[in-house]
Amino acid sequence: MAEDRDNDFGQDEPAEQDNVTAEDAQTPPEGVMEDATDWQQVAQDRYDQLIRLQADFDNFRRRMDREREELRGFVTGAILKDFLPVYDNLERALKFMPQNQETQSWRAGLEMTLKGFNEVFSRFGVTPIVTVGEPFNPRVHEAVQQVDSAQPEGIIVEELLKGFQWREQVLRASLVKVSTGQGSAEEEESLPE
């Protein structure tokens, strides 16, 4: 009965595993040989997964760089666009400022400020849109009036507000007057003989 109590309270009898011979210890248990092949497959799968993850991460990084550059371009374009009215006001001030001794220092200051704007614009790649004498292009020009002139039809005869381009983006279209091409014939008919 004491023997029965020992077995009931966790005193196990020697297991079959304790009787392992040296020959049995060198041969792997059943299924282990298959596991070695499975481990090679698992390692290959993990390697393939790592390569895919690395490629996905590289694609993600390139996409984020591209989006960051697009955002930077959008912000830069918006800021440059906001400076255009200030530039226009400086040009108008110079255009209508009287040229006398009293205003020479003011004129010099405005000219230096306008020159600074032009330098900053050129550094950023902002260029004025060419207008007078060019064919009307609705992508970069905005016609506010058609006038009779000696120029052929569709040629810009006057620029009312200078337009600017940055990279391939139009910051502001040029406001222009466009020729109807009828001015030369009508002018000849209206001349007294």
How confident is the model over 27-58, as pLDDT tens digits?
Answer: 555 554 544 468 888 888 999 999 999 999 99
% of the chain surpassing 90 pLDDT: 24
pLDDT at 9 over 70: no
- Over the range 144-154, which residues count as b (16 or more CB within 10 Å of their CB) and which as e? eebeebebeee
Q: Which residues contact 163 (CB under 8 A, 6 or more apart)?
A: 128, 129, 131, 140, 141, 142, 170, 171, 172, 173, 174, 175
| pLDDT value, residue 27 | 55
CB 160 within 8 A of CB 129: no
pLDDT at 186 over 50: no
| pLDDT value, residue 114 | 92
Taken as a whole, the chain contains a residue count of: 193
Among 59-63, 98-102, 185-189, which range has the highest average pLDDT?
59-63
> Is the C-alpha dihedral spanning 110, 160, 168, 171 positive or negative?
positive
| pLDDT value, residue 182 | 77
When pLDDT is cut at 50, 70 and 90, the band that residue 66 belongs to is very high
**Residue of 123, 40, 126 whose CA lies nearest to 77:** 126
**Domains, the chain, ranges and CATH?**
126-188 (2.30.22.10)
When pLDDT is cut at 50, 70 and 90, the band that residue 152 belongs to is confident
pLDDT at 138 over 90: no
Instruction: Name the residue with higher pLDDT: 115 or 186.
Output: 115
pTM here is 0.60
Helices 104-124 and 32-96, packing angle to 10 deg: 160
Among 4-8, 24-28, 79-83, which range has the highest average pLDDT?
79-83
